[in-house]
Amino acid sequence: MAVRRILTYPDTVLRERAEAVTNIDGKTQELIDDMIQTMYQAPGVGLASNQVGEPCRIISCDTSPKDEPNDLVVLINPEIVETDGFIVYEEGCLSVIDYTADVKRAECITVKGLDREGNPVLLKKEGLPAIVLQHEIDHLDGMLFIDRISTLKRELYKRRLKKLLKQRESPRL
User: Which positions touch Ni ion (CB under 5 A)?
Assistant: 93
CA distance 32 to 137: 16
Looking at residue 51, what DSSP letter applies? Answer: G
Looking at residue 107, what DSSP letter applies? Answer: S
Closer Cβ to Ni ion, 58 or 93, answer by number: 93
- Of 91, 136, 155, 169, which residue is the catalytic one? 136
CA distance 143 to 141: 5
Closer Cβ to Ni ion, 76 or 140, answer by number: 140
Shortest separation between residue 128's beta carbon and Ni ion, angstroms: 14
Shortest separation between residue 5's beta carbon and Ni ion, angstroms: 15
Shortest separation between residue 160's beta carbon and Ni ion, angstroms: 18
Query: Closest residue (Cβ) to Ni ion?
Result: 93
The answer to whether 24 touches 76, Cβ cutoff 8 Å, is: yes
Alpha-carbon distances of 15 from 26, 107, 141, 142, rounded to whole Å: 27, 25, 8, 4
Q: How many helices (H) and strands (E) does the chain have?
A: 3, 7
Annotation says 136 is catalytic: yes
Q: What are the beta bridge partners of residue 47? A: 60
Shortest separation between residue 82's beta carbon and Ni ion, angstroms: 23
CA distance 42 to 7: 12
Closer Cβ to Ni ion, 44 or 113, answer by number: 44
Closer Cβ to Ni ion, 88 or 122, answer by number: 88
**Active site residues per annotation:** 136
